[in-house]
Chains A and B, each alone.
Chain A
């Protein structure tokens, strides 16, 4: 069984050119994403930034571009300095008239140790059965 990735789809009121620029041009990226001077949408390009849910939980993110097809697809690995595991972030653009459908996928999150104190290999095994049980529980609860 596969571990479910995070998939978010948005219809953006902008052309694919504009959206591609927004996700690859560092000058524009700074406005909504992270300040990544020198960012280049080229396979093999590596970048890093510091971020986290709050001031006390800041992590150095290490990313490397694995796929870049102009106006269509951008993928990069996403991992944490000093921690096990690696995930993959993908932006996919599809033109829809003057709008753009953006599909964001973040997969491989289960490879991260959710808590540094506990062993990753134990966690990954069978994570799916637990989340499945949890989802069933949550869906029952929301009825």
Chain B
């Protein structure tokens, strides 16, 4: 089991208490009041309006306005509508959804109920990554209890509203975290993203109108509906309101989870909350939001962790998974690890991604072995450019950006490998 966050806020403040994962414990802390209020006192439009007004950005990586996404669900339709909760947390460096499921499953269920009421959805599929066996158990236990106590199923809390929640476990593919790859996998098909349009709101799970949101996104919803958009906006920045759960890993003294307002400076997270780099070594580079987000060099740690600031530095918040690398780190090895991951996880349908991820990985591995050339570095950058933005889904971007980031800020690491004919960082982590 994971340790609960070192720094907590509204999402995680009760996570140290085991009873919070039970209906009684959750209700004792005001749980399910927001859902009751939503279903009995608010129209779907009011909820969506509140959510839009709160400025809640999707916490799955793309940062799309959640209320706006909900508003895309067709209102006039005879088709059944579905919610899909993306719990396929697979981005290396990210481990926040797991704690939200293990320690706050009813908070998530309450978010789902509000989402279901607002979008008119009759059922939620929680698609959880295959490796999350224990979180899946926790989730199922909470769902079972919620059914028992009348918080799910027919006539939820005596409101007349009905909603079902089903847990579907994945089989271990990163691409099934892409929302349409997830839908295909959910339907029992090979996990390959769909071309868009149509978007899930028109053609989602099993061809029905669907809204797909991340675990954390749904978990914020009860707080926003319960306490209002203005309350929510006291946290975070103007453009990126609320908190998020940063997951810090790598070369830090206190790796773990930290629920902090968006806009918290990266250096504050690393040096205050995660207590800095062990052994008094210096930071070399930091991945700010899971390995698909371009790396930041030590000189940019003053960036506030919100998309509007990160974008200026050609990177993004992603999933908030922060990976800190100290001065011993070989950035070519980092490129090897990341490119291997994306090569392994590409679904293989689009040409650029299928072939480009493999080619990039082969080149960086050759450079690391000391068998690379100046031209290889050029070709690497060129392939990364060709792979980006040219495919069905954003996976190819996710594979391209880290390489582009490493070349942008640490090109000299690559050049040194070429010049020396070997890796110049003997103390770096081993491949």
Is the pairing of A and B real?
A: no
- The residues of A with any CB-CB pair to B shorter than 8 Å are none
Q: Which residues of B contact A (CB under 8 A)?
A: none
